[in-house]
Amino acid sequence: MHGKLFHEAVISAPANKVWDIYSTPKLGHLINQSLTSFLNVELLNGDGGEGSAVMIKFQSGAAPLVERVTKIDNENRIKVAELIEGCFLEIGFQLYRLSYEIIEKEANISIVKTTIEYEIEEQFISNVVFLTTKPFEAFATVVDLYLTEKSHVIFPEN
């Protein structure tokens, strides 16, 4: 079975500034500094672009997951990553694909459209209840606060 979940968040900043965070390892860095009680993001290889692998560790003790960035489209401001290890793949999902699209609404207003696309084996269909956009809603809130309140996050040099 195939399915999709969507979430849209409004960010009070220009789309190019929002994209600068979502399209680079800056997103993981912000998450690590702002959501430390929830999760930790670690770049395993690459520079954050296509082909890079990222490990996400949950503070709850849940098994970590690894995703690979499969697409960075700077023109359309779309980033796509697929789960390649752990988490949902262990409970019957054959595909878990996450995409972020940064949409310019107005000069200083952007929309972050998050889409989770999944494929799951029929016998595991009850596990769809574990899918949620809540973490991605929190990520958007962190980015919005960073961009609007000019928080003093220092990004490491690449």
Cα 28 to Cα 100, 106, 126, distances in angstroms = 14, 26, 30
Helix (H/G/I), strand (E/B), else coil: 28: helix
Catalytic residue among 4, 57, 71, 79: 79
**Phi, then psi, of 92 in degrees rounded to 5:** 100, -5
The question of whether 79 is a catalytic residue gets the answer yes
Whether 83 and 89 have beta carbons less than 8 Å apart is answered as yes
Give the integer Cα–Cα distance in Å for 35 and 15.
Answer: 23
Whether 139 and 11 have beta carbons less than 8 Å apart is answered as no
Query: Which active-site residues does the annotation give?
Result: 79
